[in-house]
Amino acid sequence: MEIEEFDEKTRNAQRPVILYFWAAWCTPCKFMSPGLEKTRLHFSDTVNFIKVNADEANELVQHLGIFSIPTLVGYANGDEVLRRSGVQSNAQLQDLFTAVSTGRPVSTGLSNGTRLLRLSLGLALMVAGWLVGYWLAGLMVGGIIAFTAVYDRCPVYRAVSARIKKLLQKENDLASTK
Protein backbone atom coordinates (compact mmCIF):
# COMPACT_ATOMS: atom_id res chain seq x y z
CA MET A 1 0.00 0.00 0.00
CA GLU A 2 1.30 3.41 -0.96
CA ILE A 3 0.97 6.50 1.24
CA GLU A 4 -1.56 8.07 -1.14
CA GLU A 5 -3.74 4.95 -1.03
CA PHE A 6 -3.48 4.94 2.78
CA ASP A 7 -4.59 8.59 2.92
CA GLU A 8 -7.54 7.83 0.65
CA LYS A 9 -8.67 4.78 2.64
CA THR A 10 -8.40 6.43 6.06
CA ARG A 11 -9.34 10.07 5.50
CA ASN A 12 -12.29 9.52 3.20
CA ALA A 13 -13.67 6.37 4.80
CA GLN A 14 -17.34 6.41 5.81
CA ARG A 15 -16.57 4.00 8.65
CA PRO A 16 -13.66 3.62 11.07
CA VAL A 17 -10.63 1.79 9.68
CA ILE A 18 -8.19 -0.62 11.30
CA LEU A 19 -4.87 -1.23 9.59
CA TYR A 20 -3.15 -4.47 10.52
CA PHE A 21 0.60 -4.56 9.87
CA TRP A 22 1.91 -8.11 9.58
CA ALA A 23 4.44 -10.26 7.69
CA ALA A 24 4.42 -13.84 6.45
CA TRP A 25 7.45 -14.76 8.58
CA CYS A 26 6.01 -13.22 11.78
CA THR A 27 5.21 -15.94 14.32
CA PRO A 28 3.23 -13.62 16.65
CA CYS A 29 1.14 -12.59 13.62
CA LYS A 30 0.35 -16.23 12.90
CA PHE A 31 -0.51 -16.81 16.55
CA MET A 32 -2.94 -13.88 16.62
CA SER A 33 -4.47 -14.60 13.21
CA PRO A 34 -7.44 -16.83 14.21
CA GLY A 35 -8.71 -14.44 16.88
CA LEU A 36 -8.16 -11.44 14.63
CA GLU A 37 -10.10 -13.06 11.78
CA LYS A 38 -13.01 -13.90 14.09
CA THR A 39 -13.06 -10.36 15.48
CA ARG A 40 -12.75 -8.84 12.00
CA LEU A 41 -15.77 -10.81 10.81
CA HIS A 42 -17.78 -9.82 13.90
CA PHE A 43 -17.14 -6.11 13.21
CA SER A 44 -17.33 -6.31 9.40
CA ASP A 45 -20.49 -4.17 9.33
CA THR A 46 -19.01 -1.33 11.40
CA VAL A 47 -15.23 -1.26 10.80
CA ASN A 48 -13.17 -1.42 7.60
CA PHE A 49 -10.23 -3.79 8.10
CA ILE A 50 -7.09 -3.56 5.95
CA LYS A 51 -4.19 -6.01 6.14
CA VAL A 52 -0.86 -4.44 5.23
CA ASN A 53 2.12 -6.68 4.60
CA ALA A 54 4.93 -4.71 6.24
CA ASP A 55 7.52 -6.26 3.91
CA GLU A 56 5.68 -4.92 0.87
CA ALA A 57 4.85 -1.46 2.26
CA ASN A 58 8.17 -0.16 3.60
CA GLU A 59 7.39 3.46 2.75
CA LEU A 60 4.06 3.38 4.62
CA VAL A 61 5.63 1.57 7.58
CA GLN A 62 8.26 4.30 7.86
CA HIS A 63 5.69 7.06 7.31
CA LEU A 64 3.52 5.79 10.18
CA GLY A 65 6.43 4.92 12.48
CA ILE A 66 5.64 1.22 12.76
CA PHE A 67 8.55 -0.30 14.68
CA SER A 68 7.29 -3.82 15.32
CA ILE A 69 4.73 -6.27 14.06
CA PRO A 70 2.02 -7.21 14.57
CA THR A 71 0.67 -3.68 14.94
CA LEU A 72 -2.93 -2.53 14.75
CA VAL A 73 -3.64 1.13 13.99
CA GLY A 74 -7.20 2.44 14.19
CA TYR A 75 -8.57 5.52 12.42
CA ALA A 76 -11.87 7.33 12.83
CA ASN A 77 -12.78 10.40 10.78
CA GLY A 78 -9.24 10.39 9.37
CA ASP A 79 -7.60 10.64 12.81
CA GLU A 80 -5.56 7.95 14.52
CA VAL A 81 -7.42 6.83 17.64
CA LEU A 82 -5.60 3.63 18.49
CA ARG A 83 -2.25 1.92 18.13
CA ARG A 84 -1.28 -1.42 19.64
CA SER A 85 1.78 -3.52 18.95
CA GLY A 86 2.39 -7.12 19.86
CA VAL A 87 0.11 -10.09 20.24
CA GLN A 88 -3.36 -9.17 21.48
CA SER A 89 -5.70 -11.63 23.18
CA ASN A 90 -9.18 -12.20 21.76
CA ALA A 91 -10.63 -10.03 24.54
CA GLN A 92 -8.15 -7.25 23.77
CA LEU A 93 -9.00 -7.47 20.06
CA GLN A 94 -12.72 -7.15 20.88
CA ASP A 95 -11.97 -4.10 23.03
CA LEU A 96 -9.82 -2.52 20.32
CA PHE A 97 -12.39 -3.00 17.58
CA THR A 98 -15.15 -1.72 19.88
CA ALA A 99 -13.11 1.37 20.73
CA VAL A 100 -12.35 2.13 17.08
CA SER A 101 -15.97 1.58 16.05
CA THR A 102 -17.06 4.26 18.55
CA GLY A 103 -14.53 6.72 17.08
CA ARG A 104 -13.23 7.80 20.46
CA PRO A 105 -9.53 8.02 21.25
CA VAL A 106 -8.35 5.10 23.28
CA SER A 107 -6.29 5.54 26.40
CA THR A 108 -2.91 3.87 26.05
CA GLY A 109 -2.64 3.40 29.78
CA LEU A 110 -0.15 5.36 31.82
CA SER A 111 1.38 8.57 30.54
CA ASN A 112 5.12 8.62 29.94
CA GLY A 113 5.55 10.99 32.90
CA THR A 114 3.76 8.60 35.24
CA ARG A 115 5.84 5.69 33.96
CA LEU A 116 9.04 7.65 34.54
CA LEU A 117 7.94 8.72 38.02
CA ARG A 118 7.11 5.14 39.05
CA LEU A 119 10.36 3.77 37.63
CA SER A 120 12.36 6.49 39.38
CA LEU A 121 10.62 5.92 42.70
CA GLY A 122 11.11 2.16 42.45
CA LEU A 123 14.81 2.52 41.66
CA ALA A 124 15.23 5.09 44.45
CA LEU A 125 13.67 2.69 46.98
CA MET A 126 15.94 -0.11 45.81
CA VAL A 127 19.04 2.06 46.22
CA ALA A 128 17.85 3.45 49.58
CA GLY A 129 17.18 -0.05 50.88
CA TRP A 130 20.64 -1.15 49.84
CA LEU A 131 22.30 1.90 51.41
CA VAL A 132 20.58 1.58 54.80
CA GLY A 133 21.00 -2.18 55.04
CA TYR A 134 17.47 -3.27 54.16
CA TRP A 135 18.39 -4.38 50.65
CA LEU A 136 15.83 -7.21 50.42
CA ALA A 137 12.91 -5.04 51.53
CA GLY A 138 14.08 -2.19 49.28
CA LEU A 139 14.47 -4.57 46.35
CA MET A 140 11.02 -6.06 46.82
CA VAL A 141 9.11 -2.81 47.38
CA GLY A 142 11.10 -0.89 44.78
CA GLY A 143 10.71 -3.72 42.28
CA ILE A 144 6.96 -3.82 42.74
CA ILE A 145 6.66 -0.07 42.27
CA ALA A 146 8.93 -0.15 39.20
CA PHE A 147 6.88 -3.03 37.76
CA THR A 148 3.69 -0.95 38.01
CA ALA A 149 5.29 1.43 35.50
CA VAL A 150 5.53 -1.24 32.80
CA TYR A 151 3.03 -3.94 33.78
CA ASP A 152 0.62 -3.16 30.93
CA ARG A 153 3.43 -3.73 28.42
CA CYS A 154 4.60 -6.99 29.98
CA PRO A 155 3.51 -9.99 27.85
CA VAL A 156 3.66 -12.36 30.84
CA TYR A 157 1.41 -10.07 32.89
CA ARG A 158 -1.00 -9.76 29.96
CA ALA A 159 -1.23 -13.53 29.52
CA VAL A 160 -1.66 -14.27 33.23
CA SER A 161 -4.15 -11.46 33.86
CA ALA A 162 -6.24 -12.48 30.83
CA ARG A 163 -6.47 -16.05 32.17
CA ILE A 164 -7.35 -14.86 35.66
CA LYS A 165 -10.06 -12.58 34.27
CA LYS A 166 -11.46 -15.49 32.26
CA LEU A 167 -11.50 -17.76 35.35
CA LEU A 168 -13.19 -15.08 37.44
CA GLN A 169 -15.77 -14.53 34.70
CA LYS A 170 -16.55 -18.26 34.63
CA GLU A 171 -16.97 -18.27 38.42
CA ASN A 172 -19.29 -15.25 38.20
CA ASP A 173 -21.30 -16.96 35.45
CA LEU A 174 -21.60 -20.14 37.53
CA ALA A 175 -22.61 -18.16 40.63
CA SER A 176 -25.27 -16.24 38.72
CA THR A 177 -26.85 -19.45 37.35
CA LYS A 178 -27.29 -20.94 40.84
How many CB atoms lie under 10 A from the CB of residue 44? Answer: 10
Give yes or no: 154 in active site. no
The active-site residue out of 17, 26, 72, 93 is: 26
CB 79 within 8 A of CB 86: no
Give yes or no: 26 in active site. yes
The active-site residue out of 18, 29, 32, 76 is: 29
Distance CA 26, CA 76 (A): 27
Q: Which residues are catalytic?
A: 26, 29
